[in-house]
Amino acid sequence: MTLRLPALLRSPGLACVLLGALASCGFAPLDWWPLSIACLAAWMAIVHHAASLRTAMARGWLFGLGHFTVNNNWFQHAFDFQDKMPPVLGYFAAVALALYLAVYPMAAAGIAWRARGKAGPDLPYVLVFAAAWIATEWLRAVIFTGYAWDPLGVIWVPDQAIAHIASWIGTYALSGLTIAFAGALLLLWRRRRWTAAVALIVPLLLQPFGYRTRPGPAAPDAPRVRVVQPNIGNEARVNAAERSLETLIRLSGRPGPAPRLVVWPEGLVTDLLESGYPDWVYADRRPFGLRARIADGLGPRDLLLTNAPRLGFDDRDRIVSAANSVLAIGPDAELHGTYDKAHLVPYGEYLPMPWLLKPLGLARLVPGDMDFTPGPGPRAIEWPGFGPVGIQVCYEIIFSGAVVDEARRPRLLFNPSNDAWFGRWGPPQHLAQARMRAIEEGVPIVRATPTGISAIIAADGTLLATVPHETAGAIELPVPPALPPTLFSRVGNAMAAIVALLFFVAAIAIRRRRR
C-alpha cells in the first residue's frame, strides 16, 4: 500500500522544516508531546520516501534545522547582556547553532533510510531509526564538549509513568523508545496493525518499570534546605553587588531548631570570598568581612552554598586562571569546601579558537576578559548532619550520566544556575532536564536561580516546591530523602548502547526472517 501524504507533505523540504519546528512544542514550556509524536511519525514517512541517501539526509537535516531553531529560541536572549556584540547577533547565533545540531538527525535519517523496506515503512525501519537516534543523540552530547540540551526523552517529564523508565535505561535510550512510539503510529497509519503492535510491545513492556517506589517522607528531625531566589536579572546586576548581597541575606531567613542548608543562585555574588590572594585584588571589599556578613544569619549547624569566582595566581602574583565555583560558608565565616565547575559552556564561559574568533569581533557571553578554567568533575561537599552534597553548576545538570561523583554518591544535588540568560522558554526547559536527572539518579535536586524557576525536586522527579519565574522569594522544606541507587546510576549510558544494540539486532533478525 502506498502511503498517501496530505497535500502539505508533498513539498517534503518545507514539510520537514515545519514538522521539526512543531515537534519542538513537546518540550517545556508547552509540553505538547502528542504533537511531537505525530510530527516524528510524519517525518519518518517522508524520510522513507526519499529517492536517495542524499535526499534522505537532507530531509533529516531540514527537520533538525526547524526543530533546533525553535527549541533553542531562548539562545538569542543571552546576547541582550553582551556589550561587545550587538543583540541582533543572537538571532543569527540561534540559527547557526541549529545548522550544526541538525547534523545529528540528518545522520539518524540516513542510517534509517539504508534500512528501509522497499514496500514502505515497516518494523525493521522503525527499530533501526530508534537505534540510530539513540546513537546520534548521545554523540550530540559528547562531540565538541557536547550540547545535550533537550534530548527527545525529556518530553515525557510531565508523564511520570513513562519518564521513570529513565531510571532504568537513561534519557538517551528513552529517546529511542520515543522514536519507536512514533514509528508505531506510522505503522498504524499504514494499516500494518500487527507490526505496529510489535513496535509498541517494547515500550509498553518497559512502562511498568517506570513505576518506582516513591520517596518516603522526610524524618521529623531531618535537616532543612532553603532555596533563595531574589529576582535580580542580568540587567539589574550592573554595579549592584551590594544590593544583591543584601537581598540574598534578607531572603535567607533566620535559623530554627533544625540545621539548614541555605543555597544561593549562580551569578549574583561577584566579589571574591576566598582569602589568601594578593592584597591588590580585593580593593575595599575584604573577603572575611563579606563572609562574616553572610554567616551572621546562620545558625550553629547551618551551611550556606553560594556561587562566586575563584582565582589562581603564579609565583609573581599574576592572575593565571579563574573558576566558576561554589563555596561552602559555615557559621564561623570560614570556607568549608569548594567546587569548580567542570563542564564549561563554549562561547559562554570560554571562547574556542580565540586566535580565529577574537579578530572577528566575537567574545564570550559571560563578562570578563579571562576564560574560565574547568574543574576536575563531579565532587561532593560534606557537612555534619547533611552528608555529601553534590554540586552541578547551571549547564552541567543537562548531561545525563555525568552529574554524580561515582566514588561518593551524594545525599542531595545542588544546581545553582543563572537562568536569567535564557528568556522565557529556557528556564522551564532547564528545570525539566534537572527533573530528569533526579529520576535517572534517584537523588533529590535543589535549584537556585536569580529570576527562576527555583525548585526543590524529589528523588523521583516530583516538584515539591518552586519559586515562579520572575518572582522574589524563598522556599524551605526538610531535605527530601534519596532513593536507592537506580540501575542507570550503576550502569550509566552503557544502557543507551545496550538498548540501541537490541533495537538494531532485532531489526536485522526480522529482516532476515522475512527474506
Note the pLDDT tens digit of each residue in 138-185. 999 999 889 999 999 999 999 878 899 999 999 999 999 999 989 988
CB 236 within 8 A of CB 247: no
Q: Give the distance, in angstroms, between the CA of residue 100 and the centroid of all CA atoms in the same chain.
A: 19
Residue type, 274: E
What pLDDT does residue 5 have?
55
Q: Is the pLDDT of residue 251 over 60?
A: yes
Tell me phi and psi for residue 299, to 5 degrees. Answer: -80, 175
Q: Is the pLDDT of residue 310 over 50?
A: yes
Residue type, 354: P
How big is the CA angle at 380 (ends 379 and 384), to the nearest 5 degrees? Answer: 160
At 312 the three-state DSSP class reads strand
Give the separation between CA 291 and CA 277, rounded to whole angstroms: 15
What pLDDT does residue 350 have?
54
Give the separation between CA 31 and CA 34, rounded to whole angstroms: 9
Tell me phi and psi for residue 387, to 5 degrees. Answer: 75, -170
Residue type, 245: L
Cell of 207: 512502562
Mean pLDDT (whole number) for 249-271: 93
DSSP 399: S
CB 70 within 8 A of CB 21: yes
Q: Could you give the percent of the chain with pLDDT greater than 70?
A: 84
Which one, of 256, 330, 269, 304, lies nearest residue 414 by Cα? 304
What pLDDT does residue 357 have?
47
Mean pLDDT (whole number) for 96-112: 96
Q: What is the 3-state secondary structure (H, E, C) of 460-497?
A: CCCEEEEECCCCCEEEEEECCCCCCCCHHHHHCCHHHH
Tell me phi and psi for residue 435, to 5 degrees. Answer: -60, -40
Cβ-in-10-Å burial (0-12, 13-18, 19+) of 257 comes to exposed
What pLDDT does residue 161 have?
81
What pLDDT does residue 194 have?
55
Q: Is the pLDDT of residue 209 over 60?
A: no
Q: How confident is the model at residue 79 (pLDDT cuts 50, 70, 90)?
A: low
What pLDDT does residue 515 have?
61
Residue type, 278: P
What pLDDT does residue 2 have?
42
At 415 the three-state DSSP class reads strand
Q: How confident is the model at residue 193 (pLDDT cuts 50, 70, 90)?
A: low
**pTM for this predicted structure:** 0.91
> What does 234-295 look like in DSSP terms, one character per residue?
GGG-TT-HHHHHHHHHHHT----SS-EEEE--SSS--S---S-S-HHHHTT--HHHHHHHHH
**pLDDT tens digits for range 372-418:** 788 898 999 998 888 999 999 998 999 999 999 988 999 999 999 99
CB 152 within 8 A of CB 138: no
The H or E element containing residue 22 is helix 12-23
According to DSSP, the β-strands at 260-263 and 303-313 are: parallel
Mean pLDDT (whole number) for 293-297: 93
For residue 223, the number of C-alpha atoms closer than 13 Å in the C-beta half-sphere is 19
Cβ-in-10-Å burial (0-12, 13-18, 19+) of 255 comes to middle
**pLDDT tens digits for range 415-441:** 999 988 788 899 999 999 999 999 999
Q: Could you give the percent of the chain with pLDDT greater than 90?
A: 62
Mean pLDDT (whole number) for 268-286: 86
Look over the chain and give the mean of its residue pLDDT values, rounded to a whole number. Answer: 87
Cα pseudo-dihedral 116, 117, 121, 125, rounded to 10: -50
Q: How confident is the model at residue 9 (pLDDT cuts 50, 70, 90)?
A: low
At 141 the three-state DSSP class reads coil
Give the separation between CA 434 and CA 417, rounded to whole angstroms: 11
Cβ-in-10-Å burial (0-12, 13-18, 19+) of 183 comes to buried
Question: Which residues make up the CATH 3.60.110.10 domain(s) of the chain?
Answer: 224-485
**pLDDT tens digits for range 444-496:** 999 999 998 999 999 999 999 999 999 999 999 999 999 999 999 999 999 99
> In terms of DSSP H, where are the helices of 24-102?
33-48, 53-71, 89-101
What pLDDT does residue 359 have?
47
**pLDDT tens digits for range 59-78:** 999 999 999 999 998 877 66
Residue 426, CA distances (Å) to 74, 190, 422, 467 in order = 6, 37, 5, 16
How big is the CA angle at 506 (ends 509 and 503), to the nearest 5 degrees? Answer: 155
Cell of 177: 523508545
Q: Directed axis angle between helix 89-101 and helix 103-114, to 10°?
A: 20
**pLDDT tens digits for range 210-244:** 555 677 677 777 899 999 999 998 766 656 778 88
What pLDDT does residue 144 have?
87
Q: Is the pLDDT of residue 44 over 50?
A: yes
What pLDDT does residue 513 have?
78
- Upstream peptide bond of 29 is cis (omega within 30 degrees of 0): yes
Q: Directed axis angle between helix 494-514 and helix 166-189, to 10°?
A: 30
Give the list of residues 6+ apart from residue 100 with CB closer than 8 angstroms, or none.
Answer: none
Other beta carbons less than 10 A from residue 98's beta carbon: 21
Other beta carbons less than 10 A from residue 250's beta carbon: 13
Is the CATH code 3.30.565.10 the one for domain 224-485? no
Q: Is the pLDDT of residue 200 over 70?
A: no
CB 143 within 8 A of CB 104: no
Q: Is the pLDDT of residue 360 over 50?
A: no
Residue type, 301: R
CB 366 within 8 A of CB 348: yes
